[in-house]
Every structure is written in C-alpha cells, then in structure tokens.
Amino acid sequence: MFEELVKRDFKKKYKRTVLGMGWSILSPLLHLLVMKVVFTQYFGRDMPHYTTYLFAGNIVFSYFRETTTGSMTALTSNAKIFTKINVPKYLFLFSKNVSSLINFAITFMVFLLFTALDGVPFTPKFILLIYPIFCLILFNLGIGLVLSALNVFFRDTHYLYDIFVLLLMYMSAIFYRVDALSPTVQRFFLLNPVYCVIQYVRLIVLEGAIPSPAYHLLLLGYAMASLLIGGLIYKKKNHEFLYYV
C-alpha cells in the first residue's frame, strides 16, 4: 500500500502535463534564472559562483517547502481511505515525503551538474552532503507530522503556513550573504534550521570547508527535536483524527 501511495503522489504531481517529470529539472532552473536576473545586480556582482550559491539555497528551501506543504494535507486529502480502512495514518505522510525526496534527488543531480559547469571543483568532501540532507529529511518529517495534525483540527493552518514559509524564505539567506552582518545577527540565523542546512551545503560545495562538530550536532538536534515533537503529537491525537476529517 505504501508503494502505491508513493507512486500515486508522484504521478499526481505531473498528471496531464506535457513535460511530465521534465518539470523536476526545468522548474528549479527557471526559478534559478528568475532569481539570478533579479538579485545578481544587487547581491552577486562581486561574488564568485553566485549562481551556484543561489542554486544551493533554492533547491534546499524548495525541498523543505514542497515536503512540508504536501505533508500538511496528507490526512485531510486521504480521509476517504483511512476512515473506511484501518491503516496506519502516518503512511500517507511518509508517502508524501518519499515522493518529494524523489523530486529533490532529481533536482540535486541537476545541481551537481550545474556546479561542474560553473567551474566549481569537485572534492571528496562532497560525500558529506549526505549528512545535512539526511538531517533535513528527518526535520521535514517531524514538521510534516505537526502540520498534518494541526490541519485536521484547524483548517486555517494552511493559510498561516503559507505566510510563515514566505517569511522563512527571506530569513534563509537564499539570495544574500550574512558575512557582512554582525556576529550577533549571524548567530541569530542559526536559529533557522533550513538556513543551517543551506549553509552546510554551501560550505562544502563553494568553500571546500567542513563545518565544526558543534554544527553537526546542531543539525542533528533540530532533526531529532522536530521528529520527537511530531511523533508525540501524532501519538496523542491519533485516535481523534477520525472525528474531525
């Protein structure tokens, strides 16, 4: 059943489109083109590999947004199934996460190809990119658990989350650098888990630097905290979902 849910979610995204899966490649490239045209003049004139810098931030944030937004409606959109059949409700959420991860994997391959075309040297350190991606997967899953539960009880969650995601995008330094800001403000950005993942990817790809052990623990802490909170909410409210969908 889980396999069929993943197939359904993945196919549904490209249903009745001319390019189909091609949008997994074309969409991030078009987003990148727009951001490059808009922001290069103001933020990237003196910055080498600014396009790769933009691309790294854009694909990470897009993956976070797609996964969490899709997870939010995982229960309400599948209510006709789990109200008639006794199945673990978290399967619907997991299927959304897996289908989004497939899209991200395709986009990430395009990103790696683009970095090569942009003249960014590949190093063995690139293998470490597995770590922030793994942490982001767990973090997205935890946030998805919270959002899907909230959306069952409060349908306003969808509208509020759209505003929150927009704010988070501007707070994730996707198109600007934080180096020129004061150390205090730079530390403030570390409160944003998505920014922390973006920064990790940029450090590895653009600077060839490995973040400190404390930074690794910070990412893992965000992932575990998100998963724990989401799991506790699901465990506590699981039996009430049927009455509200």
Cα angle at 31 between 25 and 32, to 5 degrees? Answer: 90
Alpha carbon distance 99, 188 (integer Å) = 32
Q: Is the pLDDT of residue 195 over 90?
A: yes
Per the CB < 8 A criterion, the answer to whether 153 and 98 are in contact is: no
Any idea what DSSP says for residue 122?
P
* CA–CA gap between residue 236 and residue 245 (Å, rounded): 17
- Four-residue CA torsion sign, 178, 173, 163, 34: positive
pLDDT for res 103: 86
pLDDT number for residue 238: 77
**C-alpha distances out from residue 220 to 44, 85, 237, 244, Å:** 31, 36, 26, 34
Would you state the pLDDT for residue 79?
73
Per-range mean pLDDT, top range of 12-26, 33-47, 157-171, 173-187: 157-171
Tally of domains within the chain = 1
Distance CA 5, CA 89 (A): 12
pLDDT class of 137 with cuts at 50, 70, 90: very high
> What's residue 177's pLDDT?
86
Residue of 132 and 244 predicted with greater confidence: 132
3-state secondary structure of 47: coil
3-state secondary structure of 235: helix
pLDDT of 243 over the 90 cut? no
Q: Which pLDDT score, from 0 to 100, does residue 222 have? A: 96
Q: Which of 2-11, 21-30, 61-70 has the highest mean pLDDT?
A: 61-70
Range of the domain at 38: 2-243
Give the E-state strand segments of 72-217 in sequence order.
none
Crossing angle of helices 193-202 and 130-153, in 10° steps, is 160
Using the structure block, give the residue that is written with the tokens 């103001």.
42
pLDDT range class, residue 30, cuts 50, 70, 90: confident
Q: What is the largest distance, in Å, between two alpha-carbon atoms of the chain? A: 60
